Chains A and B, each alone.
Chain A
Amino acid sequence: GESVGLHLPTLSVQEGDNSIINCAYSNSASDYFIWYKQESGKGPQFIIDIRSNMDKRQGQRVTVLLNKTVKHLSLQIAATQPGDSAVYFCAEKQHGNQFYFGTGTSLTVIP
């Protein structure tokens, strides 16, 4: 299977600071990338997505950056809040609607 990895398994940030979660992917043919948030005991929840023809996409307090040259994806969360504490997954869509997920980064927000 394809490899989608995350640089750090855990990340701790102070409340109010910005968070950056990174992800590396290996299939240059992937055309769509997604970030999910998973809170304890729940299913993953869509945060933001980006297509391969874009470099950046912004949502409410979140920004996704895509660097196709180095096959790198990042999620930036502005003014991190305690409610942002969760595990974050990146995922890539390949041919035929197959999705490959990374192993996740656990974000802890320190009040």
Chain B
Amino acid sequence: EAQVTQNPRYLITVTGKKLTVTCSQNMNHEYMSWYRQDPGLGLRQIYYSMNVEVTDKGDVPEGYKVSRKEKRNFPLILESPSPNQTSLYFCASNPLAGDYEQYFGPGTRLTVT
């Protein structure tokens, strides 16, 4: 089954404690992206990657890091989480050629206290 998986689905952590949210896709897509979703603000793009070792900033990259060492994986790293990073996070992937239909993961709800 074609899918995007994220782990963990729920995470409660404290300010300053480094964390990583993993994302993996099994569709051989070149493009992967991270979004955060906050009430009243919709989805905002954090980082995206157009292929292995190619990443770029989205609309709200501050406080986040990403890496793309393998085509299927695109982890989101919060080196020093702060309460304003409490949000619902989605990973997505799509092929670069043809349609840009993005496949989204199930989401990770992060709470930083």
Contact = CB atoms under 8 A, between A and B. Distances in A.
- Chain A: interface size category: 20 to 34
A49 B99 contact: yes
A91 B90 CA distance: 15
Contacts of A98: 45, 48, 58-59
A22 to B, nearest CB: 15
B107 A43 contact: yes
- Chain B: interface size category: 20 to 34
A68 B67 CA distance: 37
A46 to B, nearest CB: 5
Looking at chain A's contact residues, is the secondary structure mostly helix, strand, loop, or mixed? strand
Looking at chain B's contact residues, is the secondary structure mostly helix, strand, loop, or mixed? strand
Given A1-B59, A97-B48, A44 B43 contact: yes
Given A42-B106, A43-B106, A99 B45 contact: yes
A93 B102 CA distance: 11
Interface in A88-111: 89, 91, 93, 96-104
A101 B44 contact: yes
Contact of A99 (B40, B41, B102): B102
A41 B90 CA distance: 12
Interface of A: 1, 4, 32, 34, 41-46, 49, 89, 91, 93, 96-104
